[in-house]
Structure 1
Amino acid sequence: MGWLLLCAFMFLLSVCTSLDNLVPGESISTDQTLISSSGTFALGFFSPGNSKKFFLGIWYNTIPKTPKVWVANREFPLDSPGVLTLSKDGNLVVLDGMTKKLVIWSSNASVPASAMNATTAVLMDSGNLQLKLGEDILWQSFDHPSDTLLPSVKLSLSKITGQQARLTSWAALDDPQPGMFSLGIDPKVQRQLITWKANATYWRSAVYFDKESKTFFRNQSGGFFYVAYSFDANEIYFTFGVSDSSVKLRAVLSPTGQFHLLLWTERSKTWFEAWGEPINKCDYYARCGPYGACDKNGDPLSSQCKCLKGFRTEFQKQWATGEWPGSCVREKALTCDKGEGFSKFEKMKLPDHAIILGSMSMSECGYECLRNCSCTAYAYSNVTEGGTVKCLTWLGDLTDLVENHGLGQNMYIRVHRSDQGGKGHVHKLSLVITLVSATAGLLTILFVYLLWKKTLRNEGRGSAGGSMSEAISNVSLGGGKNDNELPLFSLRSIVASTNNFSEANKLGEGGFGPVYKGILTENEEVAIKRLSRKSGQGHQEFMNELKLIAKLQHTNLVRLLGCCIEEEEMILIYEFMPNRSLDKFLFDSSKNTTLDWGTRFRIIEGVAQGVLYIHKYSRLKIIHRDLKASNVLLDGTMNPKISDFGMAKIFSMDQTEANTNRVVGTYGYMSPEYALYGHFSEKLDVFSFGVLLLEIVSGKRNSAFHRLEQPLSLAGWAWELWKEGRGIEVIDESVRETCCLDEALKYIHVGILCVQEAPANRPTMSSVVFMLNNEATSLPPIKEPAFSTPRKSSHVGSSFSQNSTSFSNNAVTISMPEAR
């Protein structure tokens, strides 16, 4: 009898519990569980609170009433307990509890066909559920967190694919279905964590400078745990760990958007909150608006907001009533002259939308910001570990500033000299700039002298753009205190650097002439653009580019390093772009996989910032007139730089439009009012940007686009899919599965907005940048774009260049109206 009772007890025990693994042919359901080998974690089906829905989850086995640390079928709850088993293809699956045939959830791992009956599932002591083939891990729950992080679980962002591992809150405390909050690494800046409420930023961490950053905390037993940020060649990730594996620690994104780090205290049998964000008023994103700083040590009963030195509240009367007006404005507007410098602010949470310039000295960091008229602040790190970012800059308004932040840094904000603090640093920087300007002034005198001599030699001989003396008077180098002057290089040094313009050094050739790779002093690689002697054109374009680029300084514009005018040669020297032009990658099926979604995002953002700069923030208001994929160059880290200003036109700051009888540019990128009537404005570049944006998202070339024997444009094709609710089909298949879908669809919307028929219906570049960077922005409705259906038209004056299937190789092509 006793033996029978023992057998019955063992049978019941085997029904109610299981070992830590599941093998083919086994399953768990109802009250059965997997228990990790140490007994720390359990896996099974549960029904939360008073809910009648069932989920598969993992929880602490020895701690009562602990919320689940991982849930499988969050999006597909069951009406009755399901079945967890290994399917015929070797994957872990949850089947419905009624028919036991319908697959509710699957691990979706790639299991070799020869091993589909050889996989096992194991619940590890760490709380990680793994699908294994021998010792190889095919899938693990740690790579797919729900609302909870356990030690060693990563919030990650792949640098290669752009794929993210994020937390998503529960809908409510008793409802594991996905809620409205998510937490992950910012895909734009990549050096900060963000909590999103729907698609709007809700909270943002400090900006992490270092390759690896750890914040340590002590626990009551004398051990410690840490919160860590790190990155390597493949991914960026955030995680935490403990010195003692027996310590129970978890981080949870709550249904109300708070991110808590919780420590189990055995003595009190409670979870203790060791850290949490957002808690303080200042933790909430952009609480004080642009240039408004939230003081974390301020009175919590007040708004805690104030304007930085050199700024004031926009509405003084409203502020007098105790209500924060929401933004600050400058006391004195910036004019981008020598009367500007930086104020130093300590212990500041660095603002959002940082731009990484990389490793350089502190003075170089400040100088790079000061020479860019749209740069409003910079920050610098002294850490020298390999791979560490040293210089960050910001363009435009500074958002989400917090004073007295626990992870604050020193930052330097651009102000008028009368508002500057930290004058020692400013004066030192100004001295460097003064010395540079003096040297450049001497070069200018020499340059003008050489031009004068060349004019005498060529007296009486005109060029396509007029006489050389006329060109000299138009260049105006050295004519004002704000002009940037170019170094002159001797023809001998150019010949030596290109191995006498050898074919081996040739990068490509455009309408202007050939381009060569050269190596100048200190082994600096450069791109050398040489005006073709055979060309009946180019002198006007040469002087135009010389005049324009010498005055432009922006991280997303190609940098002109110098020039050479000697012995009938006219040569421009540019910074070298190792990855050459965007079209080389975008329209080559063997290379477009290099352009993951994160890279495409950076290129779109960079080009938009560059066009905004020439339209609004540069010393000259410029219309590029030939913005296209072959004129976007890529540096060694695939950051974009706009090139080729030979066709650009200068506007006065109050001028909005103009007409020309010489229409230049490239088919497919020209707006209808320009192509048909020679009428152009900023909206011409907006149109070109819209076409380029759609090309980057879709991976398709606009000028070669055909559909059903009709010469429909890329924008027209995108518009038809958009109308039918099939916008996702516009996205390049190579990134469709890994991109942020909402973001990609928003970009398509913005792209179609930019190519509207009427210029008035297109946004300005300021609006474009705002729409691209603000997730919560509601976008204007769109109509059928221009050139979406075939039409007959006449042109003004000239024919146009067509996009060919060849690739541009550097900052060297100019699209001309004449046939090549």
Structure 2
Amino acid sequence: MVIGRKTDFVEAFLITLLISASSLLITAQNITYPSVAYPPNSWSNIPNLSFNSGRVRPILITGIFVCGFHCGVHDCLFAVSIFPANYTLSPRVVWSANRNNPVENGASLQLSENGDLMLQDADGSPIWNTKTSGKFVSRLELTGQGNLVLYDRNNKTVWQSFDHPTDTLVPGQALVSGQKLTADLSISNSSSGLYSLALVNDSLIAFVEPDAQQVYFGPLRLKTYEPGQPKALYLNGSFDPFVLPSTSSLQFIKLESDGYLMAYAYQFSESRWTWTVSDLFSNYIGPCGFPCGEYGLCSDGNCTCPRAGGNDSTQVYHDKGDSYSLLELKDFDINFSPHFESSANRKQCKDACLKNCSCKAAIYREQKINSSGHCSLLPRIYAFERYDENDSTRGYKSIAYIKVQSPTTSGGARRRRIIVLVLGSTLGVILLIPIVVVGMFFLQRNNRNSKDDREEYEKLERIRFTRFSYHNLGAVTDNFSVKLGEGGFGSVYYGSLPDSTKIAVKRLDRTGHIDKSFLAEAETLRSVNHVNLVNLIGFCAEDSHRLLVYEYMQNGSLDRWIFSRNQESTLTWKLRQSIILDVAKGLAYLHDGCNLKILHLDIKPQNILLDENFKACLADFGLSKLIGVDQNQVLTTMRGTPGYMAPEWSSATITEKVDVYSFGIVVLEILCGRRNVDRCQPEGEMHLLNVFKKKAEEGKLMELVDKISEEMDSDGAEIMKMVRLAAWCLQADYSRRPSMPIVVKVLEGDLDVEENLNFDFSNMQAPPIARNAAAPSNRVTSTSLLPSILSGPR
């Protein structure tokens, strides 16, 4: 290759460095991904947090292209993407197999011995396949152009992704007759959307699905046309018939969810690498070129909705026809030519639509020369465009009619309205006084809230954690584009600070006055610090935005590891022991290790996060309760997650032993590799505690242990000790449960598990309600929630 200009050489050199950097990053992770695979072979959709934070689970890699599972929050696509080599921007999917049928974690891709490439969901249901069985497939290859290809023994193409485009073209790919690009449904939904781009004969058109007649762009004729082989070829510098800037950088063309065809190029601009975007349609269409959507009215480039009055272009006609009337839109038409009846006047056109159940709208065109009319009945509603009545290029005047439901005016209906009016007036008088009282209450409360807000803002100034602006958090999270998870109070997003510190940002999904529990968490967490508690880095309290910034835990939550049936995600016995000890130490610190006693109240695997070395940290203090160190119980409302809540919650008087009970459930789940309540199990085994009790009575407790890991049978004595510790923590009588510091001593080998355990975990004994209000050790107080509903990533 000869580079004719110095600038081209510099650009080419930079791109080479970027691609090399990508290879170095992959090598640094001690992971090698091939570009070719041979049958038979299979791959599982298992989170790989060492690559793009787990969003991409690679199978094949060639240069800048990655083929594998590309995952959002809840579902995944089998796809090919362009991966910017310096990892500063998210990968861009350029082809996907299952955009309308995403799969879950645990799905699999199989390249069968018969030559089929098949995608199956986690439950084994078939999702997609290439239907190439029996075609002597010899290999699957991701080419340097980003084309995923199945080759036969003679090196001929059996199937290729370039023949099945989705919404994107890459250089070297062509759009041929019979193919189309279909946009995503929205920015956040990759399912097939409303707009498509297709090659029809020798021209490109863009239209609204599912009716190719509703063309909003084109036809635009190809500059290079070979009879019998029409194709719009995308090369560097051109996508026939469009001319693009020539560049040596990464590039692709995409039909966006709003119907625009955009050209992307990866370039260095303003001291950083970014995607630059060009609109390819803008030079070819007018102000109403893009459709406004169903029932939309485009006038002078603006989209509005039809109104029955208050607009010179609209008038309601009450021509009856099965309780429908017509809304008239003067000078409005559609920008394509549907089928028109040979001759009809305006009244005939309206009557025909009213009497035809399939008619949703009608277009009436009247010739300017002889006033003859033509009518078209439309079975669906399109976008309508306003035309100038004096436009000399149009030989006719247009009127659009939209069928609308008529108001019922029968005598019975009038009587019903009178009854409703009388009843409504009577009830209005009856309800007037309570409304006034309630209004006064809210007015007084709002005044009090304003005072509270001033006080809370003053407290914010005293918090020592880093205070982030909402704008900055949007920047470091790529505009909150990578969601790690979500809970009942908000969502958690991945981000990276300028110093490359990885963070998890919890954003509260509500607005209004400053949340007192948010302040309580931020204020209180400055006084607690432990290696087994998720580290709070900072916060944002700006206008209605409430966010907390935490350290990023690379291996996610514990439930992803203990409930997975995939061998690759199995935890060893040593790791399970270590995680249990970490959780115990974190709880012991909350209960007994700082100058406040903190009850977590929502211990479960989803709230236990694992770092890159599988160190466990407690997270999500949204339901926590703060009490004085001299208190041994507290009266509070019921809170927590069903299945992890101690029996004494029914009394509303609790101690820190409710956390011990939840810890016992988690230990049991870690040991058994199943959920406490598993509705997939037979009815008699649905509840793990019932099975626990039964196996204890039969002397077969080892049968409970997770069999997916061979190591779980290697140290029976240690495992049985852990099983008995779980039983000790689950005692129905809260006073018989150990404290968390005692649990830590047992796990470290300094103490033994108590004998004579009761395996009837449902015989509850609640803490007695204190009656001596003067004694500090028995005082029941009302305290604010400690770490708030924003806390730690779920």
Q: TM-score, length-normalised on structure 1?
A: 0.37
Q: TM-score, length-normalised on structure 2?
A: 0.38
Structure of higher CA gyration radius: 2
